[in-house]
Amino acid sequence: MNQDPVSLDLGEDYPELRDSIRRICARYPLDYWARLDEESGYPTEFVAELTEGGFLAALIPEEYGGAGLPLRAAAVVLEEINASGCQASPAHAQMYIMGTLLRHGTEEQKRKYLPEIAAGTLRLQAFGVTEPTTGSDTTQLKTRAVREGDHYVINGQKVFTSRALYSDLMLLLARTTPLDQVAKKTDGISVFLIDLREARGNGVEIRPIRALMNHNTTEVFIENLRVPASALVGEEGRGFRYILDGMNAERILVASECVGDGRYMIRRAVEYAGERVVFGRPIGANQGVQFPIARAHVELEAADLMARKAAALFDAHQPCGAEANMAKHLAAEATWKAADTALQTFGGFGYASEYGIERKWRECRIYQTAPISTNLVLAYVGQHVLGLPRSY
């Protein structure tokens, strides 16, 4: 692997990119997101504008119609969306899901799909991995794909597959060789690129799941779905490795989303604490209010530095698994502290939907659980960084 020099920018890197995102987000105020939250709706207009601006194609190489930008640039896009009070999660998956196709797909697959994804005529937002009975223990997944001539027949169920109802394509993880027939439990798992436009009603049923936040998540039922052999991404049986290959990028991008949410919550808390007068003085003059906000800011700045370090290592083609996991953990912790502090600062008004604090508070909570739980990050650090015995 070629290793480039590591460079870490401080301050507001990619200022033009940040400014462009802020201008877009200014057109989607709190009431837009409040309405979608109430309806469990999808921000179609917002995602379309991001797509038309080329922001969701940031990581797609120029030869396939994308911008060919480094991971840090993509992270800045997601950070600024959330820092502006908008929600990046309805669009973020396209940035890292397509990496599996880009790194492991055939040239024919890349030329068929990536230009259309970059142009926005195809949407790749759904990732079918998690199952009801296996959770994070991915090697135990039950979804099966059996080769029959020029097709695979797939049966199984996925859960918490976000945005499947708003995606044209879905990356699907399925076992092609039974677990009791492989040398390693990570073998025998394959990745498929499913065209949901054809599959829905022909072996695929998608049902929405109401959740704590409007994450457009679903459960996917697959029964005798026939897909062409050309839907296989990479080699049969190596899909688990392909998925792992993209997890560092996912965690770095999600860490940046966390930083953006944290910045939004701290900014709102500071503004309110400076304006809200109780007992003849702004509540922000009270240390009981001021100190939690200051602490949240300190912790968020530390998380931001780790996220930048992880992105710098990734872009330099250097190992970054530890940094990516630690960035996601620190950012998830920091943004949750910022969200809870903002809610407490607003007091009763924090619970009123018109202020947008309780919505962001709910959105910030998911980072403790997904895309990897804080406990699994600590298990990774304990085993792979500190050399402790495997704990699970």
Active site residue 250: yes
Tokens matching residue 109: 């697959």
Cα–Cα distances (Å) from 89 to 172, 195, 367, in that order, read 19, 21, 11
Rounded to the nearest 10 degrees, how much is the dihedral formed by the CA atoms of 127, 257, 377, 1? 80
Q: Which residues contact 52 (CB under 8 A, 6 or more apart)?
A: 120
DSSP secondary structure of 125-183: EEEE---TTTTT-GGG---EEEEETTEEEEEEEEES-TTGGG-SEEEEEEESS-GGG-S
Strands (E), the chain: 124-128, 144-148, 151-159, 169-175, 189-195, 204-208, 218-228, 232-233, 277-278, 281-282
What's CA 231's distance to the chain center, in Å?
A: 24
Token pair 């790749």: residue: 124
Give the integer Cα–Cα distance in Å for 290 and 270: 8
Rounded to the nearest 10 degrees, how much is the dihedral formed by the CA atoms of 275, 280, 285, 287? -130
Give the integer Cα–Cα distance in Å for 332 and 307: 11
Give the integer Cα–Cα distance in Å for 212 and 326: 25
Length of the chain: 392
Q: 250, 299, 323, 363: which is the annotated catalytic residue?
A: 250
Token pair 């962001």: residue: 360
Tokens matching residue 254: 């999600």
Tokens matching residue 117: 């994804």
Cα–Cα distances (Å) from 24 to 29, 121, 124, 266, in that order, read 10, 20, 22, 21
CB atoms within 10 A of CB 366: 19
Which residues have a catalytic role annotated?
250
